[in-house]
Amino acid sequence: MSSMTFGQKTFTPTPPEKGSFPLDHEGRCKSSMLRYMICLQEKNNDNSQCRKEAKDYLNCRMENYLMAKEEWSKLGFSEVDVNAEESNKK
Amino acid sequence: MAAKLLNFFVTGTRKNFLKQYLIPPARNYSQRQTENSGWKQRQHRAKSTLYYVSAAGVLAVGMSYAAVPLYRIFCQAYSYGGTTGTVTDEKSIEKLQKKDRIIKVRFNADIGASMQWNFKPQQTEINVVPGETALAFYTAENPTDRPVIGISTYNVVPFEAGQYFNKIQCFCFEEQMLNPHEQVDMPVFFYIDPEFTEDPKMELVDTLTLSYTFFEARQGLKLPVPTFAKH
């Protein structure tokens, strides 16, 4: 199907930078995921306001060995997000 | 002898035209020098022309063979036509600047014809800012009684925006197995390159659509996986 686009520009998919997420067969991070989805629904699908929940989900993955541990800055979570979360916890 | 053959093959005015190149003039001792040198000059010129033309032909054929790798290098260097360059530096994620423009990313899920999974996105859209990493979820369920292995690929529409869509981690291009009656959440962690805002072609683009398709992994199934895909 994609080989019949003669002369048209074809889309070349690229692999993800950190590879593939291992599947969460046991559903260990399902609660974090549900919290993230609820946040998205409440904030009208705005990603900027749900950074904390996204960070929680990735944290859950890292702790359950479903994701390689990375520094938050390498994943795009700046110091501002980390500090905001800590101040919220207090 | 050659003259007779030529007379047989060539007709009319062409005969006289070709004769001056092909048939050496008869040896006439009184005019030998001037006529012979004239003929030799013509023959020399004819040979030179022939050599030049055949060299041009060989050059054209050689260029058409060389163009294939050259074009590929050019496309990779300048990201022409949607090809992305080589793997981006990991540190560049740390230095991403957030822009102000809000882009809506819609999510779409498809399955192959013989695939029996239930595959759908958990959210229809997310409003993302270029330079900010975002998380999205898809859910897949295996309703059958046997384990099924799937492999997925993705697509981004509009075409030219695809080069700005960078995935940090996802579930594509690797085989994923689902046990019978199992349901899993599959996350996609991505960001849109901040250079998106500087591209004049993207000025009117406000919506991106990310579309995943799952196929059943079988022997000999070939997906358009890039050659440098990590496995």
Q: Answer with the residue of higher pLDDT: B210 or B21.
A: B210
Q: Over the stretch B109-156, which tens digit does the pLDDT of each residue have?
A: 998 888 888 899 988 889 988 888 888 999 988 888 888 888 888 888
Separation CA A32–CA A36 (nearest Å): 6
Q: Over the stretch B31-48, which tens digit does the pLDDT of each residue have?
A: 555 556 788 899 999 999
ipTM (interface predicted TM): 0.77
List the domain boundaries for chain B.
Answer: 79-216
pTM of the model: 0.63
Classify B79-216 by CATH class: mainly beta
Chain A positions in Cβ-Cβ contact with residue B128 (cut-off 8 Å): 47
Q: Tell me what pLDDT residue B196 has.
A: 85
Give phi and psi for B126, each to the nearest 5.
-135, 140
Chain B positions in Cβ-Cβ contact with residue A36 (cut-off 8 Å): 135, 137
Q: Answer with the residue of higher pLDDT: A40 or B86.
A: A40
Long-range Cβ contact pairs of B84-92 (< 8 A, separation 24 or more): B84/A12, B84/A14, B84/B163, B86/B228, B87/A17, B87/B228, B88/A17, B88/B166, B90/A17, B90/A74, B91/A74
Long-range Cβ contact pairs of B23-30 (< 8 A, separation 24 or more): none
Which of A9, A23, A25 shows the shortest C-beta gap to B81? A9
Length of chain B measured in residues: 231
Statement: residue A51 has pLDDT above 60: yes
Q: In terms of CA atoms, which chain B residue is nearest residue A51? A: B134
**3-state DSSP assignment of residue B30:** coil
**3-state DSSP assignment of residue A55:** helix
Q: Are B123 and A37 in contact (CB under 8 A)?
A: yes
Cβ neighbors of A27 (< 8 A, separation 6 or more) are B184, B185
